[in-house]
């Protein structure tokens, strides 16, 4: 009985140590910007998928990151930045509006929404969004500058 218990403890220890080593090595790969390698080791880690998505402007990987962590606004911001890089402004606007339903007091979201509206030539909406950003954070200089520029 004692040998079985020792065998069980050793197997469990080996498994735990191998998982720790896998997590550690995936983080090393992530730090070296080898996002694909990190994903191969830890496929359910949304941070790695989001980093790969931003690096490659890959909306598919971005969608997978959001599917793994649907309530994390960081991954939605990453998706927004990809839409901007790809000049897909309507999708960028939609994701910002979606994010505003969960974080309505974030002035950066309103600032970015104002910029997107301005690029879509929806100036009235841009002004409202930029004013909201300033209202939420009165010392936020970027929306003030953008507001002066579009008026």
CATH topology of domain 88-151: 1.25.40
| CATH class of the domain defined by 1-86 | mainly alpha
The reply to whether 1-86 and 88-151 are identical in fold is yes
Q: What are the tens digits of pLDDT across the range 68-127?
A: 999 899 999 999 999 999 999 999 999 999 999 999 999 999 999 999 999 999 999 999
Q: Return the structure tokens found at 113.
A: 């929404």
Per the CB < 8 A criterion, the answer to whether 66 and 79 are in contact is yes
| pLDDT of the residue at 3 | 86
Q: Where are the domains of the chain?
A: 1-86, 88-151
**CB neighbours of residue 56 within 10 Å:** 14
Rounded Cα distance, 139 and 80, in Å: 24
Q: What are the tens digits of pLDDT across the range 1-50?
A: 888 888 999 999 999 999 999 999 999 999 999 999 999 999 999 999 99
Per the CB < 8 A criterion, the answer to whether 28 and 37 are in contact is no
pTM: 0.84
């Amino acid at each position: 009985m004692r040998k079985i218990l020792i065998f069980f403890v050793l197997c469990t220890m080996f498994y735990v140590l191998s998982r720790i080593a896998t997590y550690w090595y995936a983080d090393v790969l992530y730090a070296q910007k080898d996002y694909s390698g990190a994903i191969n080791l830890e496929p359910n880690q949304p941070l790695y998928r989001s980093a790969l998505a931003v690096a490659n402007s890959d909306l598919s990987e971005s969608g997978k990151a959001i599917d793994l962590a649907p309530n994390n606004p960081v991954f939605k911001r990453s998706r927004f930045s990809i839409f901007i890089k790809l000049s897909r402004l309507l999708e960028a606007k939609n994701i910002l509006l979606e994010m505003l339903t969960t974080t309505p007091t974030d002035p950066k979201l309103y600032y970015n929404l104002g910029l997107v509206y301005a690029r879509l030539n929806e100036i009235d909406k841009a002004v409202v969004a930029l004013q909201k950003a300033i209202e939420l954070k009165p010392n936020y200089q970027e929306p003030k500058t953008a507001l002066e520029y579009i008026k």
